[in-house]
Amino acid sequence: MSPIALQIGSLSIRWYGVMAALGLLAATVILNSNRKYINMTKEQCSNAIIVALIAGVLGARIFYVVQFFDLYRDNLVEIIRIDRGGLVYYGGFILAVVALFVYSRIEKIDFVRMWDGFAPALAVAHTFGRIGCFLNGCCYGKPTEFFTGIAYPAGSDPARRYGEAPLHPVQLYEAAENLLCAVLYFYLVRKAPRGVAVSSYFIIYGVLRFVNEFARGDHKLIWNLFTPAQLIGIVLITAGTIMLTVFLRRRELPSANS
């Protein structure tokens, strides 16, 4: 683990930022490759990515700061240092959904089909994001004796909490899962009825995140049972199941319109 990708004098370019940029680029390419299937123009896809990016980063940072406010209480300036990590995916996802709904109404875009297109794009972007988390030393796992265990360097947040104990590289687990799921969502955008891709995203990510949280070592439990992410995961699974049932009954198949 090394959070610094490149050091130029006093300027540090961190891997977290590099991976976020690569994720954004990959998401843009994937969304544009499916634009004919979701009935969006190239300009609309680009604008939607910008809207999702701004809302996503803002929402993710707000959720993180609220959840870990003790880290910033004595140094409020650090709140804006997102280059050092500290984003909660669910927070960004929720605010991005709201912002893109508003954008879809303004542009008269089918909101459901747009989110079908975003499913594989988000999964790939999340893959890069989790690799960035791993290199940054955030979102780390619990101690493990499993062969995948990673011991973090002295001075890092995981080492301060768990010492030299090897930890689950839960960030890399989730990165691999998202990459595999992106392939499925990409197929569903083109072949499945309207709404199936985004519904599947809700269900699958909700399940994976719920399971992955058992290996996380950086969260506090609510009611000594679940992490905040697991509770949101339950909501996603429930919502996705209802959505999938509705959209499969309607069976509105996509078509590659020019």
Per-residue model confidence (pLDDT) at position 105: 94
All structural domains of the chain with their residue ranges: 14-250
User: Whose CA is closest to 130, among 100, 88, 99, 186?
Assistant: 88
Q: Which residues pair with 12 in a beta bridge?
A: 7
Q: What angle do CA 40, 45, 46 make, to 5 degrees?
A: 150
The first and second tokens of residue 165, run together, are 């104990």
**pLDDT tens for each residue of the chain, 258 residues long:** 677 877 787 777 888 888 989 999 999 999 999 999 999 999 999 999 999 999 988 888 887 777 777 766 676 666 666 656 667 777 888 899 999 999 999 999 999 999 999 999 999 999 999 999 899 888 899 999 999 999 998 888 899 999 999 999 999 999 999 999 999 999 999 999 999 999 999 999 999 999 999 999 887 777 678 888 899 899 999 999 999 999 999 887 776 654
Handedness of CA 120, 125, 131, 137 (dihedral sign): negative
The first and second tokens of residue 21, run together, are 């940029």
Per-residue model confidence (pLDDT) at position 86: 67
Per-residue model confidence (pLDDT) at position 84: 61
Per-residue model confidence (pLDDT) at position 258: 43
| Residues sharing a CB contact under 8 Å with residue 118, sequence separation 6 or more, in sequence order | 31, 48, 52, 100, 198
**Using one digit for the tens of pLDDT, what is the confidence trace for 174-227?**
999 999 999 999 999 999 999 999 999 999 999 999 999 999 988 777 767 888
pTM of the model: 0.86
118 DSSP 8-state letter: H
Q: Can you tell me which residue has the tokens 């090394």?
A: 2
Cα 216 from Cα 145, distance rounded (Å): 14
Per-residue model confidence (pLDDT) at position 149: 94
List C-alpha distances in Å: 139 to 50, 56, 129, 232: 25, 18, 11, 17
Q: How many CB atoms lie within 10 A of CB 145?
A: 7
Computed over its alpha carbons, how large is the radius of gyration of the chain?
Answer: 19
Q: How many CB atoms lie within 10 A of CB 147?
A: 6
